[in-house]
Structure 1
Amino acid sequence: TIVTPQPERLAKLGSKLAAVNVNTDPFLIPLLWIGQVLPAEMQRTLLLPADSILLTDAREVFGAALRGKEPPKVAAVFEDCSQQLDAIFNWRHPLFINKHARSSCAFDDGAMMLDLHGWKRDGISDKILEFLGSHSKTAELFQQPSAAFTITAPVLLVLDKRSLRLPSAWLARGLAREYMTYAEQSYWQRYWGQQGVVFPLGASPFRAPQASTSPVRSQGDALLLRFSGGAYKPWLRRCSAAAVLAAPRCGRSTVDCASVWWQFLSPRLIRAIEATETDASGALLLSATSGRTCVPEPTLVSSSQQTTDADSAAAASAGMGMNGTKVEVLGYFEDPITGKKMVRKRVSRLVKRFVDHGVQPR
């Protein structure tokens, strides 16, 4: 059975989003309407985005114990401890510092199990809507103002204390990205190092050693794979040597993450996903395999940053940073929250820091 929100409800949601300068189609934000369209007798639902693969029995996630928790939990989420909330939120803001810990782990905002009764009882959809967009309540709440215009940051804030965290080891996400942030590198090197395993993690290509088609829990392999975060979707062809080299790598054998995806999906199904046209009867017109779209060619930096980055590179070649600190330019990456191209640097101080143009390092 396929259920969708009524057009009138979507139109009303669209008006609310437009009023705070959010231009996203409300249909693409199911957390704002899902509680209203599923049958009242349904107690739980499992949300899995189209770019995800669940490698365990769904009942293990669906049956997560939410009862008897304080405060009451309305969702089970897949934790991601390579990202912390203070990288997304202004932890000094009253709405954050009084209720949240800056060191709390982030989690995936697309894949989760919802307790629908608790979700509707506590008005979670409305609470998420309160933090979406540009208005007085969100002023200076986010590290990057653009975070207010996506669903990710509001969901993290609202569900931080209202969700049961499934272990970080269960999740491997960002498997369509070119780059790994310095914070992610540090976390995963420490994570694997504590188990006596060393992986050469660099800025590029993105690496996810825990992403395997046959996960072994005792080895820390992920149970949920998400091909999210970038342009390297597995159903897109790698049409050049540069694209092949930049493609994200999965597993201990460092294969292109696309090969993991294709283990579970037939070419016909992929063509159906890509199909955008129908015939007169409404049937999908499947594209030919040879006609699959190519992944975008990898780019290091946008033209708007070339001057700044050239200056940084010149300073690095002289052994000095823009503020006189010794620095080495390592490469570039795309911020997963804002989509902004950034420079990655290694700064010679007591602690290595990740420096984002225009944002003071923590």
Structure 2
Amino acid sequence: MEIANRVKTLTPSTTLAITAKAKELKLKGYDVIGLGAGEPDFNTPDYILQAAKNAMEQGRTKYTPAGGINELKQAIIDKLMTDNSLSYDMNQIIVTSGAKHALYTLFQVILNEDDEVIVPTPYWVSYPEQIKLAGGKPIYVEGKEENDFKISSEELKLAITERTKAVIINSPSNPTGMMYSEKELSALGEVCLEHNILIISDEIYEKLIYTDEKHFSVAQLSAELKAQTVLINGVSKSHAMTGWRIGYAAGPLNIIKAMTNLASHSTSNPTSIAQYAALAAYQAETDPTVEMRKVFAERLNALYDLIVKIPGVTCKKPQGAFYLFPNVKETASLNGFNSVDDWVQALLEEEKVAVVPGSGFGTPDYIRLSYAISKEQLVEAASRILRFVENNTK
């Protein structure tokens, strides 16, 4: 039986593939340091674990509404008001099986065949694949390194055609860790309003920022922009709950209703127990990101200082998330490799350091390094990378 055409062009997630390869080598007994993980290395806080246990003991193990339990929706509404000064009604929220599922469902309900979505590069690996699965076409606009990997309003305007349906804004960004300012978001938003383009605002890393700059959601800049934005977020990064798979979308009523209808025929509902765990996460007075931010900031500074000393490497210091995104094209060339992908493969084989090649993010001259592992491992990884570069320099 031949598989459907819609999945034939899909490429596996680069981040998941490199993580799987690292785990495979570890199982064979190799001392592998994996810098590919896109998740905090902290365990989910105890009060959230206890909430899940309580939910099970109380029999909250049944089907829930497709769009999520009302208690969690209300907690999300409260969070959006407190953190982002945004007001939503219950029917403008959908709880999903992770933020990735929110994005997938959104593309399915807004895109018709050959509709275009503007995707700034570097991009998170799943954006283009999800757009294509919905019959749409990703249109790439380069976020240049000299502009902190961000696109300008002028560059956005030049990419718009009569088929343009939406633009994705990911701030702070995966993979670069860079963040759009209020002024930059306002300029992009004005273009979207002028051309009636939906804004998809992926804010999953909003709590992980290591500078004095404030995170802004484009939706909070004006009532007009809020009406034209679908905000994507979740508890995965903020509360170390990646495996619990709880995300959400907030946006225009007609879009959220369509997403909820689709979810009712696909996932039925997000896992009931995980929803109650997420409810506890949002209702708690403690903020687990305070400690995470402190630790991540220390790791960022340590790794960044070591990476920029490696011959041929250039790197912008990120503002948020937990990734470095250095340019290693010159380094790979010094080592005699034709591509960064080949350099990455050799690094894994020779020094047992797993990094994610930038080709998966639409930028083949770069690599993504996650600092969601211990500081000691990061220092050792940087030492191995330096040794690999020095041993292979022609």
Q: Same fold (TM over 0.5)?
A: no
The structure with the largest helix share of the pair is 2
Higher-RCO chain (CA-CA 8 Å, sequence separation at least 6) = 2
- TM-score, normalization by structure 1: 0.29
- TM-score, normalization by structure 2: 0.27
